[in-house]
Amino acid sequence: MTCATGALLLSVAVAQASPWQALPEQPPIPENNPQSEAKIELGKTLYFDPRLSKNGAISCNSCHNVMAGGEDNRPNSVGVHDARGGRGAPSVWNAAFLSVQFWDGRAESLEAQAVGPITNPVEMAMDDDAAVLARLNQIPGYVELFKAVFPESDPAISMENVAKAIASYERTLITPNSPFDRYVKGEKEALNEQQVRGMETFLNTGCVACHSGANFSGPDLPMGQGFFMKFPTFAGSEYDAKYDLLSDPGRYEVTKADSDKNMWRVPTLRNVALTAPYFHNGKVANLDEAVRVMAKTQLNKDLSAEETADIVAFLNGLTGEFPVQTMPRLPPTPNTTVLPLADK
């Protein structure tokens, strides 16, 4: 869905039908990649293993830190040899509820997203898929783990199976039971007076036109069908230049369709209080300013200081409970290394 008007109407209809929804206990799981404890553990091990990067310096967790808000609090993540792209790392928490991945929606699933950074030259920078598979095959523990998790695959170590394992782990990264969730379920003391007021302001201002649904990222859509909105919708405010909102054309880089210029996948607002700096380019340092920018650029509204503070208070009520994460023991390579001796 790339038509801003159609997307807006669809989202408004969903929001009017059920504006507030608690986060489900389990995200969608594709039929071709069922969950299992062994697969999740393998995916977790891969997620934390920096040997999936060319020089052994960067893991998935380096940019999507599950010990914190699921990203790295940088405007632009730092890859191998200090390489940097033009966009910040979206949070991995609750990404399993998104129907497409990355800011521009170029990955149709968590599986597709999981392997993209490994060979991206400004991220983990492995030369190609063959180099990734060769390295994993040099680590005896991974050979055994992949065979145990994917006994019907030949070979067991494949990029498809790497993707399935990492995605399975990422589907465990959900943060339920936020104050908002408890409030929606009937615990009316879960949100304080200011947060309830902010919840009403959020609705009345029109924020639910985009940030609807249980994940506050738009309507539930089939996997691979993204919910995109133009940002800024109302161009011409002072924020365009102040925060460089127009230089990155967004989804246009994927489709090359003029209608997709400055179109972006609508991000989740869950745990948004923990994921500064804000927007695709990380140009906005704090949530108060991000709320003001969104109101002006997306709804052409100027919020008062009280309205802004109330919405920020409400958004803090979307911080959920984070499942405990323990660091995995990485499979060793006794008596040798699989990493290049020169840092290249």
135: CATH? 1.10.760.10
* Domain shared by 180 and 161, yes or no: no
Outline where the chain has alpha helix (H). Answer: 4-17, 37-48, 60-63, 110-115, 129-137, 140-149, 159-170, 179-184, 193-205, 239-242, 252-255, 287-299, 305-316
Distance CA 302, CA 279 (A): 19
Q: Which residues are catalytic?
A: 123
Q: What stretches in the chain show pLDDT beneath 70? A: 1-18, 344
Within a domain: 31: no
Of 178, 180, 186, 188, the closest CA to residue 20 belongs to 180
Please tell me whether 3 is known to bind a ligand. Answer: no
Distance CA 88, CA 284 (A): 11
Within a domain: 220: yes
* Domain shared by 165 and 198, yes or no: no
What is the DSSP code string of 144-194?
Answer: HHHHHH-TT-SSS--HHHHHHHHHHHHTT------HHHHHHTT-TTSS-HH
* Domain shared by 110 and 138, yes or no: yes
* Domain shared by 243 and 130, yes or no: no
Domain boundary among 151, 170, 189: 170
Q: What pLDDT shows up at residue 238?
A: 98
Distance CA 68, CA 49 (A): 17
pLDDT tens digits, 188-246: 999 999 999 999 999 999 999 999 999 999 999 999 999 999 999 999 999 999 999 99
Please tell me whether 210 is known to bind a ligand. Answer: yes
Please tell me whether 81 is known to bind a ligand. Answer: no
Please tell me whether 63 is known to bind a ligand. Answer: yes
Within a domain: 254: yes
Q: What pLDDT shows up at residue 62?
A: 97
| Residue 190 neighbours by CB distance under 10 Å | 18
- 211: its two tokens: 């940030």
Within a domain: 340: no
User: What distances in angstroms separate CA 240 from CA 31, 171, 210, 275, 290, one per listed residue?
Assistant: 43, 35, 20, 21, 13
* Domain shared by 183 and 312, yes or no: yes
* Domain shared by 193 and 105, yes or no: no
Q: Is 288 exposed, middle or buried (0-12, 13-18, 19+ CB in 10 A)?
A: middle
Within a domain: 323: no
* Domain shared by 59 and 149, yes or no: yes
Within a domain: 260: yes
DSSP H or E stretch at residue 228? strand 228-230
Please tell me whether 64 is known to bind a ligand. Answer: yes
DSSP H or E stretch at residue 210? none
Q: What pLDDT shows up at residue 342?
A: 82
Of 206, 207, 217, the closest CA to residue 265 belongs to 217
Within a domain: 219: yes
* Domain shared by 51 and 160, yes or no: yes
Within a domain: 85: yes
Q: Is 263 helix (H, G, I), strand (E, B) or coil?
A: strand
* Domain shared by 165 and 207, yes or no: no
Q: What pLDDT shows up at residue 17?
A: 54
* Domain shared by 189 and 218, yes or no: yes
Count of the separate structural domains present in the chain: 2
* Domain shared by 203 and 272, yes or no: yes
Q: What pLDDT shows up at residue 73?
A: 95
Domain boundary among 150, 170, 190: 170
* Domain shared by 180 and 110, yes or no: no
Domain boundary among 114, 140, 170: 170
- Enclosing domain of residue 208: 4-23+175-316
Cα 153 → chain centroid? 29
